[in-house]
A and B are shown apart, each in its own frame.
Chain A
Amino acid sequence: MATSTLLQVDDLQVSFLGETGWNPAVQQVSFTLEPGKTLGFVGESGSGKSVTSLALMNLLPQRQARIQAAQLLFDGRSLQQLSGSAWSQLRGADMAMIFQEPMTSLNPVYSCGYQVAEAIRAHGHIGRKAARERVLQLFSKVQLPRVKEMYNAYPHQLSGGQKQRVMIAMAISCNPSLLIADEPTTALDVTVQRGILDLLKDLQSETGMGMLFISHDLAVVAAMADHIAVMQKGWVVEQGTAEAIMRNPQHPYTQSLLACRPPHDVRLKRLPVVSEFLAGKWPGGEAQVRKELSLSAAEREAGHQEMYAQAPLLSVNNLKVWFPIKKTLFSRSAPMVKAVDGVSFQVYPGETVGLVGESGCGKTSLGRALLRLNEPEDGEIDFEGNKLILLPDRQMRAFRKHIQIVFQDPYSSLNPRMSVGEAIKEPMTVHRLHGNESGRRQKVLELLQQVGLDAAHYHRYPHEFSGGQRQRICIARALAVEPRLIVCDESVSALDVSVQAQVLNLLNSLKKALGLTFIFISHDLAVVRFMSDRILVMKDGKIEETGEADSLYHLPQKPYTKKLIAAIPGGYNV
């Protein structure tokens, strides 16, 4: 059977109206997609991959965006110069889309079932009851539990993975021939990601729809796509079958995307970054990286012996953090969620302890409890002989300069109205460090340089920086008070893999230079393993498994740890 072409794009060009005129965001992009096949787009934020997909759906703001193409054929029909109502008929029915942010992509004020039913009713004359039946079928197809409850549930009552399943149900509700998935799993845990990816694959093989799959993570795209297009700064730099791209990447940018994720088999001293590849530093590709940067087990062993001979810097004993489920006026004994339920561990000076687990396992509550940002219910925290739980509030505040935290979201953890320099200086002022104002300002400039930013950035505001740069600012702010211990709470999870590599390298080099100790919290075991000496696996508020990082990664004992490792994209199965 001759396969017809589902989507044919020739010389697509998208520009946005800026202050100085039309700025191109996507240039000369051409590709074809056949039914039942998946084309993956990969690239960093701002590479134009999302813009390409939104242009195909005509979802870009009409006044600010200009879409031009030599040819734009969908199912044999030209998509150029379609009227508004023609687009409405096409969208949702023949081409559907899943977005990156399941948290915000559903309307918070309507029930999940209603929103899916609305999509069905927009494209067919179907009664309320029949639409409801169809939604319930779809919900069980996307493997949502308790479908009838889910129908009436509102988005905020669902987990991220469940919301994304509702989005998928909505997208496939009218049996589209093209499904565009724009970073559908980026905001999700690795285990949830695996579930969503498997679901999308199953649905595709069942319905034979074509899929455009977009991600910044080449490993994820490789797991999904037949063909891959690598995008950089609006251009497609390399295009080919998934196997060719993964086995034999030609363009240095593609090579760098492949190499900047922590490898599974060897342990690297540091991760190679995109700029090094583009500068031609690694002509031998990944093989050369491995040869030059890998760290032998013997070297690690030697370091560990020295480290674990010391007295622990931090020891936590039977720590409990509970939250009341609901505040009531009259009763004081409200039911509690045991976020952290009797956790004990030690951290040695100069060590990096990885804390890993799915959302809701209590790892963030634990990290915050160490600084008493959440007040622990019970237990002991001993930091160099200081019993933190017993410290009065005033002394605890002063003590926080020894332990600092770098949060997940670099966008919301910086005050938008405070210049970067002020933000970094503030903790020093609070703790009265470095003598006077000019001493502190000097220190800020030093810190900016230390984290790879420029002294000229002092007076700029957070919105002028990219995600990676903002996380560098947060790191500089944490370093400002010269802490001994830094808690990194999902500090790289919101970043592209390429930027993630840079930030991880920065953390490691700072650790070496300043003699820091880290507690590194993440849901991504591959990243945690790259960073850590030891790993604690958390589940339901308790420590499930603990061990030396490499041996835990290669020989996990508990089924839960095995599940986490199996979910890593491009990873091997245990």
Chain B
Amino acid sequence: MNIETSYSGDTAVGVVSGRVDSSNAKDFDGELSGIIDGGATNLVLDCGSLRYISSAGLRALLIAIRKTNQAGGGLALCQVPENILEVLEVSGFVRLTKVFDTVEEAQASFK
């Protein structure tokens, strides 16, 4: 798992690649928390290169959703591969976060 982050104002875009599973969900949580605690109230996660996310990763995602909500912002996902979208649907996460096709659409949702 790796996250490459870029910033524009109070919106951060994190490009997530690899796998988020039980072995590295803590690192994923730490990286997301670092981005949000660093002042980004809006967080876009580009999931185009994400291979899979297990329930441990969803827990970290839930914490990030709560944090951005509390900060008055939000979390949006984009470029989500089909099988990972199924994970988000089955777990009910599609109701907790918005899912967009492109990074631009996700960014625009915060304006």
Q: Do A and B bind each other?
A: no
